[in-house]
Structure formats: structure tokens, C-alpha cells
């Protein structure tokens, strides 16, 4: 958190800095928690700096990035190792089968990367051989397409986080057969990108949201009452 954020929200003082060591420990604890029952639901959200090395890549930089010895990307991790490391395996056969991933970071190739033959981030997990069927519902929502940059307000939220909260508070809601208002993967997929670009309209730019991953539709949350809309 920035000094301004801490001034307005004192609860942000708690929690460890997002260094490589603290992230790897948190990821390990998270996977153990999720692995207690197949009905568990996992939610991962990262906001910060991101880069790519190729079109299939997404590397997320941690707080101690480029700080100290080792390779340039030692204090970073790749999303693929996290995502595939959360798949069912013999060791984690009871892992929660519903998982949501939100990657709020840039996906551009820095000019400096072109100087190197290879660059290796730290894996979040060692990915196991596919011993069990990967039957997860596990969409990945990327804040921007490959090659693009993710925007934020100065001393404020990221545009993607503002749009996501607006969608979860009702902009992406639909009513089911029982009359309950809910947000699902499909309604969020239809709404999130348009909401991001609506927030960016005054800046005359776009940030195309990309949805990837496994599985069928699923409910993210229910609303306690019908959503409010502007008339």
C-alpha cells in the first residue's frame, strides 16, 4: 500500500509484503486450504506489474523484483505454474474444483528482455504430471490482451478492479429460474470488458479483457436483492 492508501485505510498495515518468500508461503498455504474438499472454491487476484516473454506467457513481478542476486526474473512467478499447480493430482486429489483467477497486470514485452537468450521466473509450484482428470471450473480473467497495458488511476484503483467490483455489485447480474439475482462466469465474461472500456472512455483508450481457462459456467456470487440501475 502507498502512504496515501495507509492514511485512508489503516487495516492495510496488516499482511506481509508481497516478496517472493512470502508469496510462495502464501501460495503453499492456499493450496493446502483449498485441498480439504472438492466443493471448495478458490479465488486468486493479483494486481501489480506484469510482463510477457511470448504470446503464451504471463509473468507477475513481486515486491522484491530485481533486488539482489540471481537472475532478472528470480523474484517473479509465472501464472501457468500457479494455475497448473492447482490442478487435481494424487497428492491433492480433493482440491477444490471451482477456481477463479483474476490477473490485473500488463502483458507487454519489455525492450530489455530482447537482450537475453532466456529468462526464467520462479515457479509458484512444480507442476505434476497429469495423473488425474483435470475437471476444474477454472476461468482466468486477464485485465488486458497480450501486448497490452493495464491502466490505473493516479493514487487510486486499477481500472480493472473498479470494473470488476461494479460487475460483482450488480452490473453483471442476471435473474435465475428461482428469481434469485446472481453473477456467473458467463455474465461476467459478457459484461466485464464493456465496463472496463466504459471507465476508460474519457481517456480515449481501450483495455480489452481476455477470458481463458477451463470448464463450464458457474456462479461467482448471489446478490441479496435486485441490483440498482440508472434510468
Phi, psi of 202 (to 5 degrees): -70, -15
| CB neighbour class for 176 (10 Å; exposed up to 12, middle 13-18, buried from 19) | exposed
pLDDT at position 145, please? 94
pLDDT at position 87, please? 96
pLDDT at position 94, please? 96
Q: Which residues of the chain have pLDDT under 50?
A: none
Q: Where are the beta strands (DSSP E) in 105-218?
A: 138-142, 174-175, 181-184, 210-214
pLDDT at position 155, please? 75
Query: How many other C-beta atoms are found inside a 10 Å radius of the C-beta of residue 126?
Result: 8
Amino acid at each position: 500500500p502507498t502512504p496515501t492508501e495507509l492514511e485512508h485505510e489503516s487495516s492495510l498495515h496488516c499482511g506481509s509484503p508481497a516478496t517472493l518468500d512470502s508469496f510462495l508461503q502464501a501460495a503453499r498455504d492456499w493450496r493446502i486450504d483449498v485441498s480439504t474438499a472438492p466443493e471448495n472454491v478458490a479465488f486468486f487476484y493479483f494486481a501489480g506489474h506484469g510482463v510477457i516473454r511470448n504470446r503464451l506467457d504471463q509473468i507477475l513481478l513481486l515486491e522484491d523484483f530485481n533486488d539482489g542476486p540471481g537472475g532478472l526474473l528470480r523474484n517473479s512467478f509465472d501464472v501457468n505454474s500457479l494455475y497448473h499447480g492447482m490442478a487435481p493430482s494424487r497428492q491433492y486429489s480433493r482440491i477444490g474444483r471451482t477456481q477463479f483467477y483474476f490477473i490485473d497486470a500488463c502483458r507487454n514485452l519489455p525492450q530489455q528482455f530482447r537482450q537475453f537468450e532466456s529468462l526464467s521466473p520462479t515457479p509458484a509450484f512444480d507442476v505434476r504430471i497429469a495423473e488425474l482428470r483435470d475437471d476444474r471450473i477454472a476461468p482466468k480473467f486477464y485485465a488486458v490482451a497480450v501486448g497490452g497495458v493495464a491502466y490505473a488511476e493516479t493514487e487510486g484503483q486499477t481500472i480493472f478492479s473498479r470494473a470488476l467490483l461494479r460487475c460483482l455489485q450488480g452490473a453483471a447480474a442476471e435473474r435465475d429460474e428461482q428469481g434469485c439475482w446472481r453473477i456467473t462466469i458467463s455474465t461476467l465474461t459478457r459484461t466485464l470488458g464493456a465496463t472496463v472500456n466504459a471507465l476508460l472512455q474519457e481517456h480515449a483508450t481501450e483495455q480489452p479483457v481476455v477470458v481463458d481457462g477451463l470448464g463450464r459456467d458457474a456462479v461467482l456470487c448471489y446478490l441479496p436483492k435486485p441490483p440498482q440501475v440508472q434510468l
